[in-house]
Amino acid sequence: MADTALKEGSETKEFLDAPDVFHAKVKTVAKWLREAEHSMVFSGAGISTSTGIRDFRSGLNTCLDTGAGVWTERAAAKRGVKPSKKPTKKVASTLKAIPSPTHMALIELLKANFIAAHVSQNTDGLNRRSGFPPDKLCELHGNTNLEVCKKCKKHYLRDFRVRNAKRVHNHETGRTCTVPGCSGVLKDTIINFGENLNERVINKAFKYASKSDVCLAMGSSLRVTPAADIPEQVAHHGKLVIVNLQRTPLDSVAALVVHAKVDDFMRALMVELALAIPTWKLTRYVEVGNSSKPGKGRAEGSITTFCRSTDVDGTPFTLFKSCTVTLPSAYQASVPGPRPMRLQPQPNLTVSGRHPGTARYRCEFAGHYKEPPIELPIKLNLTGGEHFVRYKIELDMATGKWSKTVLSCDGVPVEGMPVAGEKGGASAGAGSEPCSAPGGGLAGEVTDLVSI
């Protein structure tokens, strides 16, 4: 990445296609996407400005609600110039921003096989938070919520900004890897000025480019290399489509340049392709369960309950501010301190005794989207080993309520498992056992999972 501002005026000037020109171009892009075998998207800060996150290189007189770009404003301040226009949209924290129509349209384009991959220069975390599958995504400049173990390369997502180093080229976060036997130092994934891109990520991005017949480059000034070399590569053997308000250095090699706001372009393209833009829901993945150990001799043994969260691909995801556990009354004698037990930050609890019943986890989130706490039951399984239920939970932003689906039991996928009492879902039916673990034990119950 380079801290570079554009020349005010000639380079920051914005253009908007006339409506008839714009619609003709949208039709052309739709035709190319239909004909292409493999297409990709390349994006920059312009796909996030409508969420309230500022870009870097918009001019002092931009038409965008977020106002002048960060570098533009900084360069102007050095010359003693202030933006003539104040931002008309409140600048959003990347942790609270809601994915844009463009972010959401990309998910549908991927599902409908119009695109195969998304290469992004954005670090705001919105690509993953929108629900775009991580295996089809390359975040060239890192992700503010992602840290990685220096030693074993394990990834960890956090519901907070992971970077806390003061010096530019120091990336250690002060946290350590929790893979058994590793304890490696974790570092943030942000690429700062003068630093090389992650080799694995950039290679994957170039591989997508080499296969692509069409590349939609959206909301990027296409001036930062080596990132901009990716869409340029597609221009050499396929069709590069640039959607941007400003002109870019790659306009001369592009098959088509659309001067429009990216959300306007994407809305029109989706209409042309007869696809709907999905509504965003905050989606999280949570596993709750227990393990048990038989006692030796006359000892009664013990149980360990746990609650853990991951991303869609299993990457550990630190989501909870705290969890409170309530155990069946048979355990009260062995539980020290106040009850229910508040656990921070590792929501595991080991107590002596092996009694059946249901433990309950009440989990509180960081609350960037005002997520209400959620209560998750664990039907204790005493057959030894680890037993757990994996849920997908989704927060409807309009109602502020969680809905939930059981995805698997003890790692075995469950097809279309309903949660009893949910509207719109098939009913589990009274007395049915929704989740039988291997070995015949019931791994968890889903009948009284409630939002609070």
Q: How many helices (H) and strands (E) does the chain have?
A: 7, 22
Helix, coil or strand: residue 14: strand
Report d(CA 158, CA 145) in Å as an integer.
Answer: 5
Residue 278 interacts with Zn ion (CB under 5 A): yes or no = no
Count CB atoms within 10 A of the CB of residue 88. 9
* CA 49, 59, 143, 240 torsion-angle sign: positive
**Cβ of residue 355: shortest distance to Zn ion, in angstroms?**
36
Residue 87 interacts with Zn ion (CB under 5 A): yes or no = no
Of 13-21, 148-156, 333-341, 356-364, which segment contacts Zn ion by CB under 5 A? Answer: 148-156
Q: Which long-range contacts (CB under 8 A, 24 or more apart) does 129-134 make?
A: 129/99, 129/282, 130/99, 130/103, 130/104, 130/106, 130/280, 131/107, 131/280, 131/283, 131/312, 132/103, 132/106, 132/107, 133/312, 133/313, 134/311, 134/312, 134/313, 134/315
**Cβ of residue 186: shortest distance to Zn ion, in angstroms?**
8
# residues near Zn ion by CB under 5 A: 8
- Cβ–Cβ < 8 Å for 76, 58: no
Select from 116, 182, 255, 312 the one that contacts Zn ion (CB under 5 A): 182
Closest by CA to 45, choosing from 128, 110, 131, 141, is 141
Select from 98, 179, 271, 414 the one that contacts Zn ion (CB under 5 A): 179
**Cβ of residue 172: shortest distance to Zn ion, in angstroms?**
13
Helix, coil or strand: residue 371: coil
Of 118 and 171, the one with the shorter C-beta distance to Zn ion is 171
Report d(CA 331, CA 290) in Å as an integer.
Answer: 14
- Cβ–Cβ < 8 Å for 186, 175: yes
- Cβ–Cβ < 8 Å for 107, 276: no
Query: And the tokens for 153?
Result: 């390369």
Of 153-161, 165-173, 202-210, 403-411, which segment contacts Zn ion by CB under 5 A? Answer: 153-161
Catalytic residue from among 103, 141, 155, 259: 141
Residue 376 has φ and ψ, to the nearest 5°, of -125, 125
Select from 6, 149, 222, 266 the one that contacts Zn ion (CB under 5 A): 149
Select from 87, 133, 184, 384 the one that contacts Zn ion (CB under 5 A): 184
Of 177 and 378, the one with the shorter C-beta distance to Zn ion is 177
Of 150-158, 323-331, 341-349, 383-391, which segment contacts Zn ion by CB under 5 A? Answer: 150-158
Of 62-70, 131-139, 141-149, 230-238, which segment contacts Zn ion by CB under 5 A? Answer: 141-149
**Cβ of residue 150: shortest distance to Zn ion, in angstroms?**
8
Select from 13, 85, 136, 151 the one that contacts Zn ion (CB under 5 A): 151
Residue 154 interacts with Zn ion (CB under 5 A): yes or no = yes
**Cβ of residue 214: shortest distance to Zn ion, in angstroms?**
39
Residue 177 interacts with Zn ion (CB under 5 A): yes or no = yes
Residues 320-359 that bind Zn ion (CB under 5 A): none
Of 139-147, 184-192, 228-236, 289-297, which segment contacts Zn ion by CB under 5 A? Answer: 184-192
Of 150 and 161, the one with the shorter C-beta distance to Zn ion is 150
Q: Where are the alpha helices (DSSP H) in 79-212?
A: 101-111, 126-129, 199-211
Of 178 and 304, the one with the shorter C-beta distance to Zn ion is 178
Of 143 and 305, the one with the shorter C-beta distance to Zn ion is 143
Of 182 and 341, the one with the shorter C-beta distance to Zn ion is 182
Report d(CA 54, CA 100) in Å as an integer.
Answer: 13
**Cβ of residue 149: shortest distance to Zn ion, in angstroms?**
3
The verdict on whether 141 is a catalytic residue reads yes
Cis peptide before 438 (omega within 30 of 0): no
Residue count of the chain, please give it.
452
Crossing angle for the helix pair 262-272 and 101-111, to the nearest 10 degrees: 30
Crossing angle for the helix pair 262-272 and 19-35, to the nearest 10 degrees: 60
**Cβ of residue 171: shortest distance to Zn ion, in angstroms?**
15
* CA 411, 414, 418, 424 torsion-angle sign: positive
Residue 148 interacts with Zn ion (CB under 5 A): yes or no = no
**Cβ of residue 154: shortest distance to Zn ion, in angstroms?**
5
**Cβ of residue 178: shortest distance to Zn ion, in angstroms?**
8
Of 181 and 297, the one with the shorter C-beta distance to Zn ion is 181
Of 165 and 182, the one with the shorter C-beta distance to Zn ion is 182
Element (H, E) at 25: helix 19-35
Of 130-138, 169-177, 216-224, 427-435, which segment contacts Zn ion by CB under 5 A? Answer: 169-177
Of 179 and 271, the one with the shorter C-beta distance to Zn ion is 179
Residues contributing to the site for Zn ion (CB under 5 A): 149, 151-152, 154, 177, 179, 182, 184
The residues annotated as belonging to the active site are: 141
